């Protein structure tokens, strides 16, 4: 893939904030025919989520009615307490948090180092190795999971959180994202520091990374989401309830509580809460990260 | 002094920096790609010593009715999922690219499903599509339709999965399109409108062609996604009712991890890999032509 096509696909503009962020409130009309399109669209998109939240506060009896009870008689927080008591939910939550944080940190460190090397250093075999890294970018995990399972088993990691962490500590996406970003930084700063006798590691940590906040935040947020939501790999490698992540735990919880819809909705809501919060706090990094996924092509 | 110079050479520093990440990618990315290929020529069950059987797995695959069923389902699924999610994403992006009151809310509403995991989405839709107490059947009843079995219906399960996954992906596609729309030069649109072009005509003849690269990317990307369909099938239908929602990755998973027929499963994986490589090649090829066309 050539760099022209990459920019062609994503457009430079995606690294700019959406216009809405630039001048809020300017030039808006109070009513526009677009509301007639936007309102139904927004409703369709939020109904499944809103319905989950509503149901999570209902009683079992209220969920077993047709027509459905749209407004619960009272807000039953007890459902959330019941979930925490009936399943090792807190454990799954901590496992997921631990795995996700470890993977995010791993990616930030290792992809920064590698991204900088590929962006700025001329070392033996660099272009071939970079091409190899890029090649893995387009291979979906599903296609290679059988041998990956055998390798992880060989390492003795099956049914440990290590199985979820170690293989994901660095990835082609992060290396590529950071390399592209580092190349846009002015090289003069680095050259000046080199003349002053700074080491490469010093330059990376004291000059390059402080300028790379947007790219690092994007990588962190996207990696967080991927790891938090991953299901297939935990399904293949984790067997004990104690080592499960939330996604895997949710499926066992669903198996055990099929008819307790109210509890199931409360459990699902809790599993999504950290990501929802992160989304509201870091919306622009999510959007930038997804727009950058366009690079994956 | 000399040793110090070697340690500071770009070769050494470059490799030292790249090494941890490259090692991880080789061990958990490159090696499995090669190993998968080898396994697809073997009879192996993840435990015993593999036995070399040449093309036998691929021969058996070509005659396997369940693989054929899975492949057909994947094609049907992709044929619906790709146009609906890409078209839906374009539609949403155009609507969201307006400066109207409340646009922030509308954007959040469209984007937020992106952070919902496949399992959370599946649980939400299992409830929404519940045959007895679901909101969907209630709403459909109001307009004189249904009731439907959705995931439990042999004829409807696959389509129900389409609806659910389109819901989950529209936000993602809309973000890509929104970024592309903002790359459309304002001068072009203004020039066209001064020339008296109608807004539909401007959209068709100016905006849409400029969105070509984004569309190309999304069509290929969502097609590759469609081929990877697994979580929803595993969790919601287990391939059923009957074999109504068997798809290749689900079949592969069953063979490798539940029945221990890993070599055969690896052959399926390689067929999928080849399809994905062809799709990527098409993307690059069409992309190159498009770039030339534009310049």
User: Hey, is the C-beta of B46 within 8 angstroms of any chain A C-beta?
Assistant: yes
Name every chain B residue with its beta carbon within 8 A of the beta carbon of A271.
117, 120
Write the residue in A10, A117, A170 that is nearest to B179 by C-beta.
Answer: A10
pLDDT digits (tens, 9 = 90+) for A133-191: 998 988 889 999 999 999 999 999 999 999 999 999 999 999 999 999 999 999 998 99
Which of A5, A138, A146, A223 best probes binding to B when mutated, by most B CB atoms within 10 angstroms?
A: A146
- On whether the CB atoms of residues A261 and B127 are closer than 8 A, the answer is yes
pLDDT digits (tens, 9 = 90+) for A256-288: 888 899 999 999 999 999 999 999 888 888 888
Q: State residue A27's pLDDT score.
A: 52
Interchain contact, B119 vs A251, CB within 8 Å: yes
Report d(CA B239, CA B259) in Å as an integer. 15
- State percent of chain A over pLDDT 90: 66
Interchain contact, B15 vs A232, CB within 8 Å: no
Phi, psi for A12 (deg, rounded to 5): -60, -30
Write the residue in B15, B125, B175 that is nearest to A48 by C-beta.
Answer: B125
pLDDT of residue A295 exceeding 60: no
Gap from A15 CA to chain B (nearest CA, Å):
9
List chain B pLDDT tens, one digit each, 295 residues. Answer: 567 677 778 899 999 999 999 999 999 999 999 999 999 999 988 887 888 998 999 999 999 999 999 999 999 999 999 999 999 999 999 999 988 888 889 999 999 999 999 999 999 999 999 999 999 999 999 998 878 999 999 999 999 999 999 999 999 999 999 988 888 888 888 888 888 778 888 888 888 888 988 999 899 999 999 999 999 999 999 998 999 999 999 999 999 999 989 999 999 999 999 999 999 898 888 888 875 555 4
User: Hey, is the C-beta of B242 within 8 angstroms of any chain A C-beta?
Assistant: no
Interchain contact, B221 vs A200, CB within 8 Å: no
Contacts of B41 (CB under 8 A, 6+ apart): B52, B53, B54, B55, B57, B263
Q: State residue A65's pLDDT score.
A: 85
Q: State residue B39's pLDDT score.
A: 93
Q: Give residue limits of the domains in chain B.
A: 64-294
Q: How far is CA A271 from the centre of its chain?
A: 14
Cα A11–Cα A12–Cα A13 angle in degrees, nearest 5: 90
Interchain contact, B13 vs A123, CB within 8 Å: yes
- On whether the CB atoms of residues A206 and A192 are closer than 8 A, the answer is no
Q: Whose structure tokens read 């509301």?
A: A35
Q: State residue B92's pLDDT score.
A: 95
Report CA-CA distances (Å) from A50 to A13, A56, B124: 33, 10, 10
Task: Specify the DSSP element, H or E, that contains B240.
Answer: none
Q: State residue A51's pLDDT score.
A: 95
CATH homologous superfamily for A88-296? MetI-like (1.10.3720.10)
Report d(CA A249, CA B288) in Å as an integer. 45
Interchain contact, A5 vs B287, CB within 8 Å: yes
| Second CATH level (architecture) for the domain B64-294 | Orthogonal Bundle (1.10)
Q: What is the mean pLDDT of chain A?
A: 87
Q: How confident is the model at residue A17 (pLDDT cuts 50, 70, 90)?
A: very low
Gap from B155 CA to chain A (nearest CA, Å):
23
Q: Give residue limits of the domains in chain A.
A: 33-76, 88-296
Name every chain B residue with its beta carbon within 8 A of the beta carbon of A199.
8
Q: Residue A119's closest CA among A52, A51, A30, A211?
A: A211
Calculate mean pLDDT across residues A32-36: 86
Query: A164: nearest CA in chain B?
Result: B28
Q: State residue A19's pLDDT score.
A: 45
Interchain contact, B138 vs A149, CB within 8 Å: no
User: Hey, is the C-beta of B272 within 8 angstroms of any chain A C-beta?
Assistant: yes
| CA atoms within 13 A of residue A130's CA, in its CB half-sphere | 23
Name every chain A residue with its beta carbon within 8 A of the beta carbon of B113.
45, 48-49
User: Hey, is the C-beta of B142 within 8 angstroms of any chain A C-beta?
Assistant: no
Interchain contact, A129 vs B22, CB within 8 Å: yes
Q: How far is CA B94 from the centre of its chain?
A: 22
Q: Rounding to the nearest 10 degrees, give the CA dihedral for residues A10, B121, B132, A73.
A: -110
Report CA-CA distances (Å) from A91 to A86, A94, B35, B70: 12, 5, 35, 37
Report d(CA B295, CA A268) in Å as an integer. 50
Q: How confident is the model at residue A12 (pLDDT cuts 50, 70, 90)?
A: very low
Q: Kindly report the pTM of this predicted structure.
A: 0.90
- State percent of chain A over pLDDT 70: 88
ipTM: 0.91
DSSP type of residue B206: I
Q: Residue A13's closest CA among B209, B103, B210, B216?
A: B210
Name every chain B residue with its beta carbon within 8 A of the beta carbon of A254.
123, 235
Q: How confident is the model at residue A29 (pLDDT cuts 50, 70, 90)?
A: low
The number of beta carbons lying within 10 Å of the beta carbon of residue A184 is 11
| CA atoms within 13 A of residue B34's CA, in its CB half-sphere | 8
Q: State residue B118's pLDDT score.
A: 96
Report d(CA B167, CA B174) in Å as an integer. 12
Report d(CA B120, CA B124) in Å as an integer. 6
pLDDT of residue A232 exceeding 60: yes
Residue A7's SS3 state is: helix
Calculate mean pLDDT across residues A202-222: 93
pLDDT digits (tens, 9 = 90+) for A87-113: 899 999 999 999 999 999 999 999 999
């Amino acid at each position: 893939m050539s760099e022209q096509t990459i920019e062609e696909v994503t457009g430079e503009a995606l690294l700019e904030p959406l216009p809405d962020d630039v001048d809020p409130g300017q030039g808006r009309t109070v009513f526009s025919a677009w509301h007639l399109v936007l309102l139904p669209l927004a409703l369709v998109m939020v109904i499944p989520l809103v319905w989950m939240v509503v149901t999570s506060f209902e009683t079992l009896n209220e969920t077993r009615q047709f027509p459905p009870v749209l407004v619960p008689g009272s807000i039953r927080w007890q459902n959330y307490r019941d979930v925490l008591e009936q399943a090792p939910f807190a454990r799954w939550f901590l496992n997921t948090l631990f795995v996700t944080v470890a993977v995010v940190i791993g990616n930030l460190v290792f992809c920064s180092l590698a991204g900088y090397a590929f962006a700025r250093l001329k070392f033996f075999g660099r272009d071939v190795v970079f091409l190899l890294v890029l090649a893995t970018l387009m291979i979906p995990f599903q296609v290679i999971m059988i041998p990956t399972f055998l390798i992880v088993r060989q390492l003795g990691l099956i049914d440990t959180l290590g199985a979820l962490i170690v293989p994901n500590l660095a990835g082609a996406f992060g290396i590529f994202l950071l390399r592209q970003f580092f190349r846009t930084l002015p090289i003069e700063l680095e050259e000046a520091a080199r003349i002053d006798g700074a080491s490469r590691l010093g330059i990376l940590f004291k000059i390059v990374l402080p300028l790379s906040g947007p790219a690092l935040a994007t990588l962190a947020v996207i990696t967080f989401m991927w790891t938090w939501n991953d299901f297939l790999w935990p399904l293949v490698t984790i067997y004990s309830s104690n080592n499960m992540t939330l996604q895997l735990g949710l499926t066992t919880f669903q198996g055990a509580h099929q008819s307790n819809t109210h509890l199931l909705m409360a459990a699902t809501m809790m599993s999504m809460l950290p990501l929802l919060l992160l989304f509201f706090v870091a919306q622009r990094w999510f959007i930038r990260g997804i727009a950058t996924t366009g690079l994956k092509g | 002094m000399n040793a110090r110079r070697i340690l500071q050479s770009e070769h050494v520093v470059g490799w030292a920096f790249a090494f941890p990440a490259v090692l991880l990618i080789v061990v958990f990315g490159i090696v499995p790609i090669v190993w998968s290929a080898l396994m697809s020529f073997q009879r192996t069950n993840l435990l015993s010593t593999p036995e070399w059987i040449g093309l036998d797995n691929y021969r058996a695959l070509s005659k396997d009715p369940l693989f054929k069923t899975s492949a057909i389902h994947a094609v049907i699924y992709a044929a619906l999922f790709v146009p609906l999610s890409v078209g839906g994403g374009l539609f949403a992006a155009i609507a969201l690219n307006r400066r109207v009151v409340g646009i922030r809310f509308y954007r959040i509403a469209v984007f937020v499903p992106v952070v919902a995991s496949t399992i959370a989405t599946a649980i939400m839709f299992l409830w929404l599509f519940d045959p007895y107490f679901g909101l969907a059947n209630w709403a459909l009843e109001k307009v004189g339709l249904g009731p439907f079995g959705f995931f439990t219906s042999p004829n409807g399960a696959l389509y129900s999965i389409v609806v659910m996954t389109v819901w989950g992906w529209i936000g993602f596609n809309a973000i890509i399109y929104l970024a592309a729309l903002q790359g459309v030069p304002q001068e072009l649109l203004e020039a066209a409108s001064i020339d008296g072009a109608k807004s539909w005509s401007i959209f068709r003849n100016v905006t849409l062609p400029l969105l070509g690269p984004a569309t190309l990317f999304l069509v290929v990307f969502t097609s590759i996604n469609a081929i990877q369909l697994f979580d929803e099938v595993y969790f919601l239908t287990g391939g059923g009712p009957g074999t109504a929602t068997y798809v290749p990755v689900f079949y592969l998973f069953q063979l490798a991890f539940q029945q221990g027929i890993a070599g055969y499963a690896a052959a399926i994986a390689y067929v999928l890999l080849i399809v994905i490589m062809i799709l990527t090649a098409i993307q690059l090829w069409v992309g190159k032509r498009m770039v030339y066309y534009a310049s």
